[in-house]
Structure 1
Amino acid sequence: MIKDFINSNFGSDMKGLYVSFFKEYVGWEVNRPFKTSNFSMLLVRSGNLKLKINNQILLLSAHDLVYIPKNTICNLIDRNELLQVCIMITQQASFSSAFNTKNYPSITLNTIDFKLVLQLFKLLDLKNKNITYSIYNNELMKNSFNLFLYEIKIIYNKYRDCEAHGITRKELLVAQFINYIVLHCKERHSVQFFADALCISPGYLNRIVKQITDKTAKDLICEGLLIEAKILLKNSQITIFNIADELEFNNYSSFSTFFKRHTSLSPSEYRLQLNSH
């Protein structure tokens, strides 16, 4: 099933590349090695797949992206009933220049990058299905292909850089979380907001932040908010009521309670202390 698609014959009516979405595992041949006749890329949407590429065995699961070169010995060793994959194939040799499969045969995408790649697959599939035969066909598909390749290059290089520097996916997410705090903590105080921005659950965000920083996600948000409050309190021209409003607290009282809980001083006491120095 997958073998037949990967080794599709590119006739004169082909538009440069094809995308297919496999949602059923019934009929897939396992332990039947075959040689690929096209360049292909496989994105796992759900489930698990054990795949052998030449002499390397890959254990793949949701969000894994795999590039399979042309003339590769490929073998589907095992899969489970939840497996759903997207596959793109092309004969364009320029596709291979984006990847270093010797050291990085596959990458595990975070949720944001997974959704991006999935949308690119869908875009290419849509254009293939809806394009009409005209003198503009080749140019349209060429532009779509270049967009896909450009985005994939960026994503692959990002994950290769992370591996080269020993940065894990969790560490990358926490770094993104801290960057978002710097940008948004003045107006956004909830863990839910930042988890949504990272396309992960609040529970998962809390777990990885705790693992890496030994603090909760809320702790880091409060620290960022406290820094903003202290910066504003240094400016004696801004009233504390206005500071509470700028930091999106419901009222002066809630801001004062927050500030005193973290500094043991009320905002006015902190400002007086600054002035005394």
Structure 2
Amino acid sequence: MEFISKKLPAEVYVYKGLAVEIQNISCSGHFILVFVKSGIMRILVDGVSMLGVSGEIIVAVSQEYYQVIHAGKKLFCYIVKINREFILETKMFNHFIETFIKKHPLKIIPDAFEQKVLSRIMKLLMYYSTVQDGISQLSVQSFSMTLSLLLFQTGWLYNHSNPSENTTYNRKEALTMGFLKLLLKHFRQEQNIGFYSGVLCVTDGYLNKVVREVTGKTVGFCIAEILISEAKYLLVHHSDGIETISEQLGFSSGGSFRRFFKRHTLFTPLEFRKRFQV
């Protein structure tokens, strides 16, 4: 088990293979969200046993603890322990709080595309929670926004698998969700708001207004944020050159990538790599 945490509204745990340390993780009043990327595992939440297999999501509300009691050899699992206060303050999740409290634990089975979206969200959460030199204000904001997206995505999946619950999104929430999912899929190739507004059949101004109302961030900020997070991940965890990374992220030149990166981080890409590379 690997645990990653810095003064953030959630803690991220990663479980891989059979190397699972059996221990109680205190979770008084927390929401527990489990995404089994691959393999099989069994978890106890306040003594209630649940089996999770590849591609499934488990959502529970814990008053005491959780414990992973079995891990298959091919297990790759994320567990996110989320502060209750954060969920109560998250506009994008209001419809589902009462349902999850009353009916936990819940199991959700996303399709292959949704599993890829969840994997991308978890990757971002892991990055933001592993900043080596303290948490900047941007990292806290980015982590919180990504965590909100995880909750929104989970609620959306639950709603579509349980239509009788009548927990539907309003038009602005649905439009925001559509934009964020498109962004996760296309951000390397498409950094212009016009692409997203065109696919969603709205004007640029309306899309920007709605996204800002729901998330507190503009469309431009969301695009820049995910590009910067991906650039940081590639710089820290891969050995590709700066020019190669700039091409992978859709920049016209290494120079434009360097200027963009420094404007948002105060580091050049090379300075960031030297300081944070593991």
Give the TM bin, normalised by the shorter chain.
0.3 to 0.5
* TM-score (norm: length of structure 1): 0.46
TM-score (norm 2): 0.46
Structure number, greater radius of gyration: 1
